[in-house]
Structure 1
Amino acid sequence: MTLTSATPDVVTDRWRGAARPQTSAEWLVRAEEVSDILSADAVERDRAGGAPRAEVELLKASGLVTLLGPVEHGGGGQRWETAYRVIRIIARGDGSIGQLLGYHYLWAWAARLVATDEQIAAVEEAYTAGNLLFGGAVNPRDADLVITEDGDELVFNGRKSFSTGGVVSDLTVLEGVLDGTDTHIFAIVPTDQEGIVFAHDWDNLGQRLTESGAVEIRDVRVPWSQAAGFVDREFVPLVYNTWNVPAIQLVFANFYLGIAEGALRTAAGYTRSHTRAWPYGGDDKPRATEEWYILEGYGQLQSKLWADATLIDQVGAEISAELHAPREETTPFRRGELAVRIAAAKLRIVEDGLETATKIYELTGARASANSVGLDIFWRNLRTHSLHDPIPYKKREVGVYALLGELPEPTWYT
């Protein structure tokens, strides 16, 4: 089955009657099944460039959308350690959908990061029971949405140039600044309303199916009671709410790794079935799979990705423990220490992933550059999103820690 040819009922019925995964290992198997479906026609769907509605239905039907949701409301009740692995697996099959799912997990957890206990319970019940997908209009580089007060309501107005997943989402996380103050407010609202207008202008080199284009917010109203983390209109700050950036930076690292792993896997398959040995070097081999430089090349790339996976999994286990621990137990030191190691993991997979997505052409041969092969999708996807924030600044963060022992201050990007 491919999503290009499948009818909607085939997608949604894929796991009807199947036992729901219970353990982390079973959820990873479910993710592999989804990834295999996505990989079958990832290039064709990327080129078509349509909104990924069938892809979202696939994620919902598989149960992956509610992986982190409470069991009592029908969710998987899994930990972030598993969610990170799921993101990576999905990205092997389709980098765009790995990003959509990763952003969804972060926004689904956003209530726990900043909201009150009552707000957390309401949000998690609603999205889990409803099997709803999150998008977000929270790009910090734009001038923030302006929020005004109207009695017991907050009114959001403004524009964001990025809103990943918004077009196909059920819920949207808004973030803006209360007019006349420097107070930032987060709120979760239904996406399908007149005041949320998408520009449909996402036309970038890679990650084409993430629907990351602009959105205009026009008089979107939210009750004060739904302003995340506010009690009697006053924000109650937590050290815990600064975990949002390290958590999403590791989302990035995992779908980068998934893209790189997908590139290496796809290239290896091509080399085994199509690449020809080079007959003019004086060391003739009957098959390309016996060529020393091809074996060396795959060995180098695989070694780097294994090393990256080890670091990413290690910090994934550690931040998972923090995200699932009582919120009051978080300390600034632990947050900073882990944030700098996540920065190290991210910078390593960006460099090693881009090397992999480029080097595979040397290991597959000239014919592999044909558009019909589609190896370019991996480089385009990784190159596009890895520009999210400058990697030299990640190197600097790690360098300052290694040389001076200084931890990064929490910002929108650290």
Structure 2
Amino acid sequence: MTTPRKSPRRTAIRATSAPADRPADDAIWPRVTREVADDLAVDAPARDRAGKAPFDEVARLQEAGLPALLTAPRADRRGADWRAASAVVREISAADSSVGELLAHHYVLSWSSRFFGPAPDTGSVPALDARTAQEHWLLAGGVEPPRTGTDPGLTLTPATGGWILDGRRAFTSGVAVADRLVVGARPGGTGDWLVVLVDPAHPGVFTDPGTERVGQRLSGAGTVTFDHVPIPAEHVLGLLPYDEHAVAPFATLAPLALRLLLVQVGLGIAEGALAEARDVSRAGQAGPVPVPLERDGSSVAGADPVGPGDDPYLLLAYGELATAAHAASAVVERATDALARGLLAGPALGPEERADIAVLVAAAETLTGRAAVRITTRVLELVDGAEGADAQGGGPGFDRFWRNARALTAPTQPALRLRDIGDHYLNGTHARLTLPA
């Protein structure tokens, strides 16, 4: 058994100006995201092979101000919406999906006080939003209860002025490099869960980084042990009722938001793999172009040279893969619009609207997961033997797209999602309002 160890705190250089104060408008954020994505794409294969904790990658995000994208607006700053956050995650993931996953978890966790806390006064800024923007935090963790009954999860014991946190839990993203952890824990003697904010630099917090991963190697995954960590009352962000009937529909958008942002990561993987494969195939046209020959070896009269770009089977392959990516994108966009409307509704969101959103998210998750695996698998075949496509020789490393797609989609259960979609379509049944959804 590996002994948990204290993870090193990030020493990355922060931007001298306040990047979180940049206006979040349609002109600036797409350009900033594109610049970061281009920067990440340059050395993505080398960083994937190295498999180090993503301190440098997080520094690039922080310097660009991307983690503060979804924080609440102020008088001098207009906040971006979930559509913008989805676009950021998707484009970053096309360059480096591990960094995209890390950012996806951060965005959802940054809304924890909105999802699970009391309704804020009109015009006020949720505490977690304000601190995240002010301190330039990167958040990691997870608030959902354990998926198995044998896993006790994290526990809270009442103490003077707050609680004491104990337990051990694995997380899929960010805990190796996070500034703060947002976790769900069970108070002793109750079935409800509290969502709390934890400083990973506390002496009682130990992180064992997940270094032996098939894919998504740079997402900062790991197992965290909490040993008698004090949680002040002001660091309790909200409550997750154990009773399904006591859960507000708006709170159950939290797992749907995370699932949909991870769908954006998967779609980014597919689009990134397809774009890089296209570049390799185009580059293959630079050499001598063969001319069709007769059976006797003579050139076909009047025939045009046939290059890789004229190969009908290659064109067919790219046509099929591009269509699969377009179809997944259309479904994901529809689900993203529905989720954005649900988040805008806030506490007024009803169970019917939440059920419709859940179905669209499940459809996007199923279709995109299959498309990502299919596209990244087929891309490996299309670039096989192409010049510059050998990962061992320092080339593009197309295997990382396939590994990342498999690692990201493996935990999902398409059969269960499809069953829920069919039950809703045929019988009008609502998915249960539980966490995780």
**TM-score of the aligned structures, taking structure 2 as reference length:** 0.85
Structure with larger Rg: 2
Q: In the aligned structure 1, how far is the partner of 2:72 from the partner of 2:369?
A: 33
Counterparts in 2 of 1:349-388, with a 5 A limit?
Answer: 349-367=368-386, 368=389, 370-371=391-392, 372-373=394-395, 374-388=397-411
Q: Quick one: structure 1 residues 40 and 148, their matched pair in 2 at CA, closer, same or farther if it must change by over 3 Å?
A: same
Q: Quick one: structure 1 residues 48 and 195, their matched pair in 2 at CA, closer, same or farther if it must change by over 3 Å?
A: same
Q: In the aligned structure 1, how far is the partner of 2:310 from the partner of 2:196?
A: 58
Q: How much does 1:223 deviate?
A: 2.3
Q: How much does 1:284 deviate?
A: 9.7
Deviations 1:131-176 (A, max 9, x none): 1110114462343101111133211100002252012111101211
Deviations 1:65-124 (A, max 9, x none): 100112328765000111011100000110000000010000001111011227962211
**TM-score of the aligned structures, taking structure 1 as reference length:** 0.89
Q: In the aligned structure 2, how far is the partner of 1:19 from the partner of 1:301?
A: 40
Answer yes or no: is 1:131 the counterpart of 2:136: yes
Answer yes or no: is 1:300 the counterpart of 2:323: no
List alignment gaps of at least 5 residues for structure 2: 1-10, 240-245, 295-302
Q: Quick one: structure 1 residues 281 and 412, their matched pair in 2 at CA, closer, same or farther if it must change by over 3 Å?
A: farther
Q: Would you say the 8 A contact 2:158–2:164 is kept in 1?
A: yes
Answer yes or no: is 1:184 the counterpart of 2:193: yes
Q: How much does 1:388 deviate?
A: 2.2
Among 238, 244, 251, the alignment partner of 2:261 is 251
Bigger shift: 295-304 or 257-266? Answer: 295-304
Deviations 1:21-72 (A, max 9, x none): 5413431221111111001111100111111111111111111110011232
2:309 equivalent in structure 1: 289
Helix, strand or coil for the counterpart of 1:205?
coil
Deviations 1:234-263 (A, max 9, x none): xx8532111111111101110100011000
2:282 equivalent in structure 1: 272
Amino acid across the alignment from 2:273 = A
Amino acid across the alignment from 2:283 = S
Bigger shift: 392-401 or 72-81? Answer: 72-81
Corresponding residue pairs, total: 401
Alignment RMSD: 2.8
2:111 equivalent in structure 1: 109
Q: Would you say the 8 A contact 1:289–1:295 is kept in 2?
A: yes
1:310 equivalent in structure 2: 330
Q: In the aligned structure 1, how far is the partner of 2:170 from the partner of 2:290?
A: 48
Among 174, 179, 184, the alignment partner of 1:170 is 179
Q: Would you say the 8 A contact 2:19–2:64 is kept in 1?
A: no
Q: In the aligned structure 2, how far is the partner of 1:18 from the partner of 1:104?
A: 15
Q: In the aligned structure 2, how far is the partner of 1:296 from the partner of 1:340?
A: 32
Q: In the aligned structure 2, how far is the partner of 1:336 from the partner of 1:279?
A: 59
Amino acid across the alignment from 1:171 = R
Greater helix share, 1 or 2? Answer: 1
Among 352, 366, 370, the alignment partner of 1:333 is 352
Q: How much does 1:394 deviate?
A: 1.3
Q: In the aligned structure 1, how far is the partner of 2:102 from the partner of 2:110?
A: 12
Among 90, 93, 100, the alignment partner of 1:91 is 93
Q: How much does 1:344 deviate?
A: 0.4
Amino acid across the alignment from 2:347 = E
Q: How much does 1:403 deviate?
A: 2.5
Q: Would you say the 8 A contact 2:138–2:178 is kept in 1?
A: yes
2:5 equivalent in structure 1: none
Q: In the aligned structure 1, how far is the partner of 2:331 from the partner of 2:27?
A: 20
Q: In the aligned structure 2, how far is the partner of 1:405 from the partner of 1:134?
A: 37
Q: Moved runs in structure 1, 4+ residues, more than 6 A?
A: 15-19, 275-284
Among 213, 218, 224, the alignment partner of 2:233 is 224
Q: Quick one: structure 1 residues 290 and 365, their matched pair in 2 at CA, closer, same or farther if it must change by over 3 Å?
A: farther
